[in-house]
Amino acid sequence: MFLIHHHYGLRKKYLSFLFNILKKFIKSGKIKNKMIELKINSKNIYSLSLFLKKHTKCLYKILTDIVVYDCPGKKFRFTVLYNLLSISYNSRIIISTKLLEKLPVLLTLVPLYSGAGWLEREAWDFFGIFFINNSDLRRLLTDYGFTGYPLRKDFPLTGFIEIIYDDSQKQIIYRPVKLSQDFRNFEFKNVW
């Protein structure tokens, strides 16, 4: 095969090859910043990833990252990007899929990429995207009693619960957030 990373014409030819062989999986594709980006339906993520990992003209054997971004108000609120790397061909490819707000669910890629477990846990913890067949989907960086998903754009900046240490009771206390309105009547004439 050829090193598709270095020549635009070869990347375009490679994209055409992927379209011809995977037309039932790929909705659209483009070349962006020297990388190929494939847009797919979320139900095809496992099948397409399996093909890209195993086919001799692909060999994308490393999942480098899973990126999620949130666009509230849209029918497909979440966009999930999978960044794959082929060491054999010095090439990267991005798989992009969109998810509904009410049902953000994807199949896990842990059987294909062992590092996907950690990345999927991050997406679950911060955005609430559920990965079917991931056996270790639990909170990663937030507290186990944490309510909500902090990287969703509609998540309140102060959160729902605050944690304080009460010196009189000598223990940690969880309580609903109370916002003080000390600066409600702020005047710009104040010197401080």
- 91 belongs to a structural domain: yes
Model's pTM, two decimal places? Answer: 0.78
Alpha carbons 133 and 143: distance in angstroms, whole number: 23
At 152, which amino acid appears? Answer: R
- 16 belongs to a structural domain: yes
- Domain containing residue 89: CATH number: 3.30.460.80
- What is the extent of the structural domain holding 14? 8-141
- 109 belongs to a structural domain: yes
Nearest alpha-carbon partner for 43 in 103, 83, 119: 103
Interval 89-111: pLDDT, tens? 888 999 999 999 888 999 999 99
Q: Which residues on neighbouring strands pair with residue 39, listed in sequence order?
A: 28, 96
**How many domains does one find in the chain?**
1
Alpha carbons 167 and 82: distance in angstroms, whole number: 47
Nearest alpha-carbon partner for 93 in 44, 32, 25: 32
- 167 belongs to a structural domain: no
- 79 belongs to a structural domain: yes
- 68 belongs to a structural domain: yes
Nearest alpha-carbon partner for 45 in 80, 14, 11, 20: 80
Interval 115-157: pLDDT, tens? 999 999 999 999 999 999 998 888 888 877 777 888 888 776 6
